[in-house]
């Protein structure tokens, strides 16, 4: 049996780390798929529970050189501690690295040192002061040395390895030079690299702090969703009022929601009336009226009335919890476009080390001294850290899925995000997707009687009917009813009843014909309506034809606009329905859809999707019913309307939580925008390393320019990661 779990991981810092975890976990027998997310520091693992268990997976994470965190609370606590420690380490690094930089490099900026610490007058003092200043900085950056060394022993060198190697190389070389200065008091003071060893650490710490702040903002949407639920709730349980943690609410508990407060859990209103702001779940801005029997959702905000609610779903199973899980799962998944970055990151660190060594050796052969070659070696190691590669995809996906969730659009992963952006054909189911799924009276055509009176006779006769057409007529009428006796349902025809003392027949043309109503009369009034895809109900009163009422499942208010918007993107729109051709073509014409597949059996819907794909089309299927599930699964990306069946919602890759069909257009635009961001991020990550490594290796120097200093290489490396994350965060400003 397949199972899915999410493992929280501590200690990852770059793409090489996440690739190492994936490689280690994937070697476990029974693991079918593993995806590591550097943004959320987690691994989503699908495994066969008969072959392995969670302990085996966690052991593989440890073998890769990282720690496993047991639960989200511990992860949050550890993150808070690490954030506090990182701030302290950065402050220490800044306090000591700034004077270190001024003492060692001040002469380049026109700053003259006091004679007491001049390298020319007191070289030993000059060297020892730098040694004293750099040691606290190295201690502040100790995690790079610890993690980097551990990664080597686990055969998974990473960013920390490169930083540790670069900084320690500069420090060790400087120690050797300091020993020579002490030994013979000579001019080796100009061959010290303490400032490089210290500034590398300081710049990386600054970059990591900025990166952490930016990464935290990518998960803001999830944090805001979590904050909607109150920590505790007062409930009635077994006729006793008690305050419980919201996470411990049970099905059957009853709680009261006062104006302005949040609904604690999904439930059914058992008393009271109110209106509720459901925008955080559906994205719809207008409050929704609620009365006894209606459903309310945890996290929504009660606007005016006080209502009592009976719990129907526990904390982890509420709609809001499912939305949060969907966003987190999406962030933990990868779009196919990220595959290239993954493959490169797996071999990146050893390759960079090889380039660093080769560059130093080549310069040595050209006659450059050891100091020059060491400078090149350190710069290449530091500038090439693959942080930006690891952050390029997950940050964009996390921001996009969070942005979507705030607008009632749920993406179930990075793959649907990418697939939706490439869709060139959208196939709509009709009923409940393009239409409201609720028959409504569209036309009232009285003959020899007023419109109001015709409707009153019909509604009076139909008020006890369970037929959908009868319900539509009753819903349309608003007033007092006539007395009704002798009601009789006529199978396949309609009904007969005595209404207000008069004999009334309500039904189809055949029923009218059987009761001596001229077929030409019903044909003249009914055929034009039928041609529009409407169902026509005919009425006779005491043997006289009284008129007709047309009923139809009408198009959603924004459906035609959605089709027009999709066409503006170059997307072809198609209708796929089991309804009759006349009705389907009528609805399609109003919506602006030119291609219609009508009278399609449920089992054949999937075949239509497959045939379109064989024509080379990237198909997005939009549906809401059980019979849509196979088609949703077969499409390149399946989109379900949340008001539809659970089967359809489970089968889909994207879920639209509100009733607006324009949400589909918004989802496609968001996915296209996200894919562009991912491409931009990957471009900058690759371009940065493509340009940065040759410069660090001394290309500009060979062409007559300057040699890159290791500390500036560290600053540039940190800037690349922050740039990628900041670029992803721009999606938060994108207006849907």
- Any domain includes 53: yes
Rg from Cα positions in the chain: 35
- Any domain includes 179: no
The DSSP call for residue 434 is I
β-bridge mates for residue 572, sequence order: 425
- Any domain includes 444: yes
547 and 587 in a single domain? The answer is: no
**What is the DSSP annotation of 161-184?**
HHHHHHHHHHHHHHHHHHHHHHHH
pLDDT in tens, 376-406: 888 887 777 656 666 677 778 878 888 888 8
**Is the distance from CB of 229 to CB of 251 less than 8 angstroms?**
no
Angle, CA 390 vertex, CA 389 and CA 392 arms, to 5°: 65
**Which of 657, 673, 690 is the last residue in one of the domains?**
657
- Any domain includes 350: no
Q: Where are the beta strands (DSSP E) in 375-483?
A: 409-411, 425-429, 440-446
CB proximity list for 344: less than 8 A, separation 6 or greater: 386, 389
Give the CATH number of the domain where residue 563 resides: 3.40.50.1000
CB proximity list for 107: less than 8 A, separation 6 or greater: 113
648 and 560 in a single domain? The answer is: yes
β-strand 654-656 against 409-411: which pairing, if any?
A: antiparallel
**Is the distance from CB of 9 to CB of 67 less than 8 angstroms?**
yes
**Which of 497, 527, 552 is the last residue in one of the domains?**
552
Residue 78: exposed, middle, or buried by beta-carbon count in 10 A (0-12, 13-18, 19+)?
middle
- Any domain includes 6: yes
SS3 520: helix
**Helix, strand, coil share of the chain (percent; to 5):** 55, 20, 25
Of the candidates 6, 9, 78, 20, the one whose C-alpha atom is nearest the C-alpha of residue 386 is 20
Report which of residues 321 and 442 the model is more confident about: 442
Sheet holding 494-499, edge to edge: 440-446, 544-552, 535-541, 502-507, 494-499, 484-490
The residue range of the domain holding 501 is: 440-552
Which pLDDT score, from 0 to 100, does residue 94 have? 92
Phi then psi for residue 287, to 5 deg, are -60, 150
Spot the catalytic one: 253, 277, 429, 553: 429
pLDDT in tens, 424-480: 999 998 877 888 877 889 899 999 899 999 999 999 998 877 677 888 899 889 888
The mean of the pLDDT values for the chain is 82
586 and 623 in a single domain? The answer is: yes
639 and 579 in a single domain? The answer is: yes
Confidence of residue 326 (pLDDT cuts 50, 70, 90): low
Which pLDDT score, from 0 to 100, does residue 287 have? 72
Active site residue 486: no
β-strand 2-10 against 484-490: which pairing, if any?
A: unpaired
Query: Which helix (H) or strand (E) element contains residue 584?
Result: helix 581-591
**Which of 635, 657, 679 is the last residue in one of the domains?**
657
The CA distance from 161 to 150, in Å, is 9
Residue 220 has pLDDT above 80, yes or no: no
Give the CATH number of the domain where residue 475 resides: 3.40.1110.10
Which pLDDT score, from 0 to 100, does residue 444 have? 92
Of the candidates 35, 21, 28, the one whose C-alpha atom is nearest the C-alpha of residue 64 is 21
486 and 547 in a single domain? The answer is: yes
Q: Where are the beta strands (DSSP E) in 84-223?
A: none
**Is the distance from CB of 355 to CB of 376 less than 8 angstroms?**
no
Of the candidates 544, 494, 553, 496, the one whose C-alpha atom is nearest the C-alpha of residue 522 is 544
- Any domain includes 403: no
The DSSP call for residue 24 is H
Confidence of residue 184 (pLDDT cuts 50, 70, 90): confident
547 and 644 in a single domain? The answer is: no
564 and 429 in a single domain? The answer is: yes
Residue 688 has pLDDT above 90, yes or no: no
Which pLDDT score, from 0 to 100, does residue 701 have? 84
CB proximity list for 604: less than 8 A, separation 6 or greater: none
Of the candidates 310, 197, 290, the one whose C-alpha atom is nearest the C-alpha of residue 250 is 310
Of the candidates 355, 372, 351, 352, the one whose C-alpha atom is nearest the C-alpha of residue 363 is 372
pLDDT in tens, 226-254: 777 778 888 888 888 888 888 888 898 89
SS3 544: strand
The CA distance from 673 to 680, in Å, is 11
548 and 638 in a single domain? The answer is: no
Of the candidates 1, 61, 57, 6, the one whose C-alpha atom is nearest the C-alpha of residue 29 is 57
Which pLDDT score, from 0 to 100, does residue 36 have? 84
Task: Count CB neighbours of 360 within 10 A.
Answer: 22
- Any domain includes 546: yes
Q: How far is CA 120 from the centre of its chain?
A: 60
**Is the distance from CB of 211 to CB of 725 less than 8 angstroms?**
yes
- Any domain includes 178: no
The CA distance from 144 to 454, in Å, is 83
Torsion 417-421-422-425 (CA) sign: positive
The CA distance from 304 to 705, in Å, is 71
**Is the distance from CB of 106 to CB of 76 less than 8 angstroms?**
no
The CA distance from 669 to 122, in Å, is 66
For residue 11, is it left (φ>0), alpha (ψ between -120 and 50) or beta? Answer: left
560 and 425 in a single domain? The answer is: yes
547 and 630 in a single domain? The answer is: no
445 and 303 in a single domain? The answer is: no
Instruction: Please count the CA atoms within 13 angstroms of the CA of 152 that sit on its side-chain side.
Output: 13
Give the CATH number of the domain where residue 35 resides: 3.30.70.100
Residue 714 has pLDDT above 80, yes or no: no
Q: Cα-Cα-Cα-Cα dihedral of 370, 376, 378, 383, to 10°? A: 180
How many domains, in total, are found in the chain? 4
509 and 576 in a single domain? The answer is: no
The CA distance from 721 to 145, in Å, is 20
Of the candidates 350, 259, 253, 341, the one whose C-alpha atom is nearest the C-alpha of residue 305 is 259
Section 141-162 average pLDDT:
81
Instruction: Return the minimum-mean-pLDDT range out of 213-222, 254-263, 318-327, 677-686.
Output: 213-222
Which pLDDT score, from 0 to 100, does residue 616 have? 92
């Amino acid at each position: 049996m397949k199972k899915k779990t999410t493992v929280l991981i501590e200690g990852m810092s770059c793409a090489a780390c996440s690739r190492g975890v994936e490689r280690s976990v994937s070697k476990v027998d029974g693991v079918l798929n593993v995806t590591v997310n550097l943004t959320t520091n987690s691994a989503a693992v699908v495994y066969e529970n008969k072959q392995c268990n969670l302990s085996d997976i966690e052991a593989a994470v440890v073998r890769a050189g990282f720690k496993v965190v047991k639960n989200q609370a511990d992860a949050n606590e550890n993150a808070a501690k690490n954030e506090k420690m990182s701030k302290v380490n950065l402050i220490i690094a800044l306090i000591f690295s700034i004077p270190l930089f001024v003492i060692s490099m001040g002469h380049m900026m026109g700053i003259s040192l006091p004679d007491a610490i001049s390298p020319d007058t007191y070289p030993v003092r000059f060297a020892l002061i730098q040694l004293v200043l750099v040691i606290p900085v190295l201690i502040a950056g100790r995690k790079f040395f610890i993690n980097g060394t551990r990664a080597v022993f686990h055969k998974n060198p990473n960013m920390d390895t490169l930083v540790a190697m670069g900084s320690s190389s500069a420090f060790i070389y400087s120690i050797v030079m300091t020993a020579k200065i002490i030994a013979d008091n000579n001019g080796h003071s100009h061959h010290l690299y303490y400032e490089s060893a210290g500034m590398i650490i300081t710049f990386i710490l600054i970059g990591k702090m900025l990166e952490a702040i930016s990464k935290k903002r990518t998960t803001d949407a999830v944090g805001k969703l979590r904050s909607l639920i109150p920590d505790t709730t007062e409930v009635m349980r077994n006729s006793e009022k008690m305050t419980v943690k919201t996470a411990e609410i049970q099905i059957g508990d009853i709680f009261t929601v006062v104006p302005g407060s949040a609904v604690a859990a999904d439930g059914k209103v058992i008393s009271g009336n109110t209106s509720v702001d459901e925008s955080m779940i559906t994205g719809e801005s207008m409050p929704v009226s609620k009365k006894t029997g209606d459903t309310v959702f945890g996290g929504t905000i009660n606007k005016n009335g006080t209502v009592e609610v009976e719990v129907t779903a526990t904390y982890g199973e509420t709609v809001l919890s499912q939305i949060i899980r969907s966003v987190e799962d999406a962030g933990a998944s990868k779009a196919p476009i990220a595959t290239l970055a993954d493959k490169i990151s797996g071999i990146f660190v050893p390759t960079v080390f090889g380039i660093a060594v080769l560059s130093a050796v080549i310069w040595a052969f050209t006659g450059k001294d050891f100091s020059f070659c060491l400078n090149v070696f350190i710069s290449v190691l530091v500038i090439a850290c693959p942080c930006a590669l690891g952050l390029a995809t997950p940050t964009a996906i996390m921001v996009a899925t969070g942005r979507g969730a705030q607008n009632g659009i749920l993406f179930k992963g990075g793959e649907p995000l990418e697939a939706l952006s490439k869709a060139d054909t959208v196939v709509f189911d009709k009923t409940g997707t393009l239409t409201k799924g609720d028959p409504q009276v569209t036309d009232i055509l009285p003959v020899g009687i007023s419109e109001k009176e015709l409707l009153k006779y019909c509604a009076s006769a139909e008020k006890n009917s369970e037929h959908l057409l009868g319900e539509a007529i009753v819903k349309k009428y608003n007033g007092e009813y006539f007395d009704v006796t002798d009601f009789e349902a006529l199978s396949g025809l309609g009904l007969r009843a005595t209404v207000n003392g008069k004999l009334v027949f309500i039904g189809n043309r055949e029923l009218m014909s059987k009761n001596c109503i001229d077929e030409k009369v019903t044909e003249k009034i009914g055929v034009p309506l039928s041609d529009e895809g409407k169902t026509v109900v005919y009425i006779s009163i005491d043997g006289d034809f009284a008129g007709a009422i047309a009923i139809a499942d009408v198009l959603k208010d924004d459906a035609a606009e959605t089709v027009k918007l999709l066409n503006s993107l170059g997307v072809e729109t198609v209708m796929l329905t089991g309804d009759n051709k006349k009705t389907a073509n009528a609805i399609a014409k109003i919506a602006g859809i030119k291609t219609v597949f009508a009278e399609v059996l449920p089992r054949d819907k999937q075949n239509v999707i497959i045939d379109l794909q064989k024509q080379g089309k990237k198909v997005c299927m939009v549906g809401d019913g059980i019979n849509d599930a196979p088609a949703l699964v077969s499409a390149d990306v399946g989109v379900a309307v949340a008001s539809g069946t659970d089967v359809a919602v489970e089968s889909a890759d994207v879920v639209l939580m509100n009733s607006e069909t324009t949400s589909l257009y918004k989802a496609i635009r968001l996915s296209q925008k996200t894919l562009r961001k991912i491409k931009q991020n990957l471009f900058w990550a690759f371009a940065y390393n493509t340009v940065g490594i040759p410069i660090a290796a001394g290309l500009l120097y060979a062409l007559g320019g300057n040699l890159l200093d290791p500390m500036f290489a560290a600053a540039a490396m940190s800037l690349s990661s922050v740039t990628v994350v900041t670029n992803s965060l721009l999606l938060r400003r994108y207006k849907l």
